[in-house]
Copies of this chain bind each other. A is one copy, B any other.
Amino acid sequence: MIERRIIAILTDFSLRDNYIGVMKGVILSINPRAIIVDLAHGVPKFNIRKGAFLLLSAYKYFPKNTIFLCVIDPGVGTGREGILLKTKNYYFIGPNNGLFTFVAQEDGIVQIIKLRNEKFFVKPASKTFHGRDIFAPVSAYLSLGFKPEELGRVMSLNELHRIEIMEPVIHHDYLEGEIIYVDDFGNCVTNIPGSALSSYKKDSVFWVLREDKRYVVRLSETYGSAEKGEGIILVGSHGFVEIAVNQGSAAQRYGLKEGARIRIELG
């Protein structure tokens, strides 16, 4: 079962400090054969929602049974539980604070375990770095073949903490949604499913409206098929409607930030 050996790590730690290195040391101390992958560490501090989105758009590209070790954890050491979530195809380990909302919804919950068995913790477990002291070692034991129920106590499926999702509006005259992710290129990913654009013809012109401003963008299949610097709307690689600028930053050009509500109309 080689896939169970893969542990993918998502955090808001950045790579500046030694925190991620230390978590890997803990994992390799328990299972030197674990295959560790950095999923992303540049999530803005404490941004659970953004972490949840990055997890959603990534997890299904990993082999089944991959263990996702996720630490965006403003409540570390307080009442929030550490959990192991088993979905139909994957394992997720981290704080029960909403980070797993989207993957649970999409892949289906099979089992949730509260991580309270100190036998599987780094001792003494700190109250400030559960990534190192609880989530990393539990991930490693799981990768060794321990069963989820050996690692803690089964909890009710409806105890999974979920973050609220602002539903996009798909009207036949317009689309409404929210910028949920601005990537490092400045591409602005919305929460509107890509299918909402399927009935429009290539090169259709749209208005993007935000507050009292409006911008023209052209429906494109790729970044590069637009003019350099041209504004486009497309189905991005995450599977959602995306506002972009060929070889430029749509976030800068249009002043779009995460959380901004936009409306998209045929021009």
Whether the pair A38, B14 counts as a contact (CB closer than 8 A) is no
Whether the pair A39, B18 counts as a contact (CB closer than 8 A) is yes
Annotate A29-49 by CB proximity to B: 1 below 8 A, 0 otherwise: 100110111111110011000
Whether the pair B222, A128 counts as a contact (CB closer than 8 A) is yes
User: Cα distance A15–B54 when bound, in Å?
Assistant: 13
Whether the pair B128, A236 counts as a contact (CB closer than 8 A) is yes
| Given A13-B184, A62-B29, A224 contacting B41 (CB threshold 8 A) | no
Contact of A40 among B5, B16, B29 (CB under 8 A): B16
A184 → chain B, closest Cβ, in Å?
A: 4
User: Cα distance A127–B222 when bound, in Å?
Assistant: 6
Annotate A50-62 by CB proximity to B: 1 below 8 A, 0 otherwise: 0000100111011
Which residues of B are found within 8 Å of A40, using beta-carbon distances? 15-18, 21
Residues of A at under 8 Å CB distance from B?
2-3, 5-6, 8, 10, 13-22, 24-26, 28-29, 32-33, 35-42, 45-46, 54, 57-59, 61-63, 66, 74-78, 80, 122, 126-129, 132-133, 183-185, 221-225, 234-237, 246-247
